[in-house]
Structure 1
Amino acid sequence: MKKKQWQGWSPGGEQAEQHYLVEPRALAGGGDLRHVSEFLRASGWRDASTPGGPLLMESPDRAVRISYDPYVQPGGWTIHGKTSGQQDEWWATLGRQTPVEIVAGLTDALTHPRSAHAPNVWEPLQEQHWNAGPKAGHYTATSPDGSAWMQFHQDPSGHAMWWSGARDGQGNGWTASFSATTPMHLVQAFSASLASPEPVMRPRGRVPHSTAIRTTSVSVLPSQLSAWQQARITAARAATWARNSVRNNRPRTTARPHTHAGGARARR
C-alpha cells in the first residue's frame, strides 16, 4: 500500500481523515449510496423512500424507478423503465457490492439527453484494452487483470441479456444483469464507468479485504470531501436548470386555437 498526502486547504482546527484510493474500481465495494441518490435528487428526481425502508427514486416523468434494498437476498440495485413511445419495458439489477461510482455511470446517464451517435457498448472496454471475443458461446470482454467482465448472453431459448460483474480470488464481488431491451446508451454508460482506470475513494474501515486490489492512503479534510460532493450536486442542478430553460423557451410549433372574427368572446 502506498501513502500520499492529499493536497488541499486546511481551515483552522480541522482534522484530516484517512481514506484510500482503491483500484481496480470494480472491486472497491459498494460505497456511499448518496453518490447516486443526491445527484438524482439534484436532477429533479423524486425521493419516494419510506422512513427505515429501501431507497426509492423516481424520474420526473415517472417512467423510471431506481431502488436499493439491502434487506432482501441477494439485495442491491433494481432499475425499471416503463414502456414509453418506441421504448419497450426494460430493467437492470446490480448487486449490493457494485461500486456506487459504477452504478452512477448508468443512473447519471438517465438524466442526460441521448447522444446523436449510435451507442457501442464494447468501445469503452476496447479503449481500456479489455480482451474481447467469443467465450463459451457468448461474446465477452474481460479486464486486463481478469477481475471484471462484460458479456452479451443468449440462452438456448433465445432470451438475450447483458451480464457483467467483478470477482477476486477470494469470492468477493458482484454481478449485474440488463434486459435485452435496456437502452444501449445506458449499457454503454455503464461499461464506460466499469472500464474507467480512475481509482475510487473509500474511508478507513470500508476497504474490502482483497489481495486483488491496490490502495493508496490519503489524508483528506472533511471540508474537501464536502466540496467534492457539492460540486457534483451543483453540476447536476446546473444541467437540470439548463435543460428546463431550453424546454421552456422553445417556440411553440402548433397553432393556438382562436375564434373567428365576430365570434363570441370568452368570459373572464
Structure 2
Amino acid sequence: MNEDLRAFAEDKKGKFHCEVSPRHMAGLGDPRHITHSLRAAGWKHDGDRGLPQVLTSPDHSLGLVLDPLSPHQAWSVGSALMFVPGYWHAGFTRNAPVEIIAGLTDSLIRPAPAHAPTDVWETLAAAGWNVSDGPRWREASAPGQGLKIKQVGSDNRDDDHFWWRIQAVEQSYRGSVETVWSAALDQTTPPHIMAGLIQELVNPAALLRGSHDHGAHHRATQGDVFTAGPQIVAAHSDRMDAARAGARALARAA
C-alpha cells in the first residue's frame, strides 16, 4: 500500500457514508478521487503538498491546479503552456462534484479512443436532455434537474469560435435562481476529453458522500447511512490501479 492509499484508508476509518442524489447537487466530495489517480498515473506535485495543489503531467504538457478556497475556479485543468497550438483550459467552481470532473481528468491519463467519440449533442439527447437552439448558442438541459450545458459562440454556431458553459442551478424559496456550481471550457478542449466529461454529467447514479464532507445542496436527498468499511478504500485502490494501467497504455501509444 503506497503513501496516498495508506493515508486515504486511515482517514476513512470510522467515517459514515450515504448516497446523495441528484449527483450534481452532492457537493465537492473528496478531491483525492482525482488527485490520487493523477499521481498514480505519474503526475507530480509542483512544489509542496499544501494548497493550492499544482500537479503536472509526466511530459509537462498538462497541468491541474486545485484551490478549494477560490471563489472563482476551485479546479483549473488543461494545457500547461499558453499561446501554443491546441491550447485548452477547463475551470470548475468549488461545489462541482469530483466524480463529474473526473470524467475529464480520467480521460487525460489514458489513450484517446481510436475512433471519434459520439457527438456531444447526440449523447445529451440520448440521455433525455432537451436540446434547443438560439441565434448564437445551443443549449441542452436535464428536465427538472436545473442542470444545463450551453455552447456560446458567434453568429454562426457552426464555426470554430465558441466556448462551453455548464451550470447547475436551483430556484430558491424566494424565486431567485441560485448557481450551485458552474464550469467553463474552451472550444479547443479535445473531443474525447469533452466526451468523458459529458458521460459523467449525464450519469444518473447517486454519489457517495461522507459524514465529514461538505457542500451538498440542501435540496439534495440522502439515502441510507452506512459505515465506509473496506469497500470504499478498495474502490479507491481500484481507481489508482486503473490510472497506472492507463498511464502505461498512454506511454506505449506515445
- In the superposition, the TM-score normalised over structure 1's length comes to 0.77
Among candidates 30, 33, 37, match of residue 32 of structure 1: 30
Letter in 1 for 2:52: P
Q: Show structure 1 runs of 5+ residues with no match.
A: 1-14, 249-268
Q: Alpha-carbon deviations, 1:145-195, whole Å to 9, x = none?
A: 231111111157994101112122232511101111111211111111111
Question: What is the distance in 1 between the residues matched to 2:162 and 2:253?
Answer: 36
Is 2:138 the counterpart of 1:130?
A: no
> Is residue 2:184 matched to residue 1:177?
yes
Answer whether contact 2:28 2:215 (CA < 8 A) is retained. no
User: Quick one: which of 47, 55, 65 aligns to 1:57?
Assistant: 55
Residue in structure 1 matched with residue 218 of structure 2 by the alignment:
210
Distance, in Å, in 2 between the alignment partners of 1:49 and 1:30 is: 24
Whole-angstrom distance in 1 between the partners of 2:92 and 2:113: 24
The range that moved more, 201-210 or 126-135, is: 201-210
Q: Does 1:142 align with 2:141?
A: yes
Moved beyond 6 Å, runs of 4+: none
TM-score, scaled relative to structure 2: 0.81
Are 1:187 and 2:194 matched, yes or no? Answer: yes
How far did residue 89 of structure 1 move? 1.0
Which of the two has higher C-alpha Rg?
Answer: 1
Q: Offset of 1:224 from its aligned partner?
A: 2.0
Once the 2 structures are TM-superposed, how far is the Cα of residue 220 of structure 1 from its aligned partner?
Answer: 2.6
Q: Compare the two structures and name the one with the higher helix fraction.
A: 2
- Change in CA separation of 1:112 and 1:243 when aligned onto 2, cut-off 3 Å: closer
Gaps of 5+ in 2: 1-12, 173-177
Aligned match of 1:240 in 234, 239, 247?
247
Q: Percent of aligned pairs with the same residue?
A: 31
RMSD value, Cα: 2.7
Aligned partners of 2:77 and 2:228: how far apart in 1?
A: 34
1:94-121 deviation digits (Å, cap 9, x = unpaired): 1111100011000000111111222322
Q: Using the TM superposition, name which of 222-231 and 118-127 deviates more.
A: 118-127
Describe the superposition over 1:48-96 as per-residue Cα deviations: whole angstroms up to 9, x where unpaired: 2424331111111111101111343323111131579x95211111111
For the pair 1:121 / 2:120, whether they are aligned, the reply is yes
* Residues 168 and 210, structure 1, Cα contact 8 Å, conserved in 2: no
Could you say if the C-alpha distance between residues 135 and 235 of structure 1 is closer, same or farther in structure 2, counting changes exceeding 3 Å?
same
Counterpart CA distance in 2 for 1:71 and 1:17 is: 24
